[in-house]
Amino acid sequence: MDALNDQRLQGLFEQDASLLEMLDHLSMREDVPLTGMRFLWIFQMELGISFVESRKILDCFDPAMRPKIDAAEINQRWRAIMRGFLDRSPHR
């Protein structure tokens, strides 16, 4: 799959999907297990979310990308980042 043209990922993002839904999609899309560095790259290059912002979410996961905190808390943090991103985005 051409990752930079992943319409499903873009659709999930635009539909305000939970972060865990997006990670499920990415884990099925990738040929190798999703790593923290790959997560950061995908969110910056494919969704336009800064490394700094996506790094805040990465802190919620262990090195194997398993949640370290409750899913509801992860999604609450994700929604806060999304709100800030959408407020700053000129094309949304």
Dihedral sign computed on CA atoms, order 33, 31, 50, 77: negative
How far apart, in whole angstroms, are the C-alpha atoms of residue 16 and residue 23? 13
- What is the residue extent of each domain of the chain? 3-88
How does pLDDT run across 23-79, given as a tens digit for each residue? 999 988 888 888 999 999 999 998 888 888 889 899 999 999 999 999 999 999 998
Exposure pattern of 40-58 as b/e (b: 16+ CB <10 Å)? bebbbebbebeeebbeebe
Check: pTM over 0.85? Answer yes or no: no
CB 81 within 8 A of CB 19: no
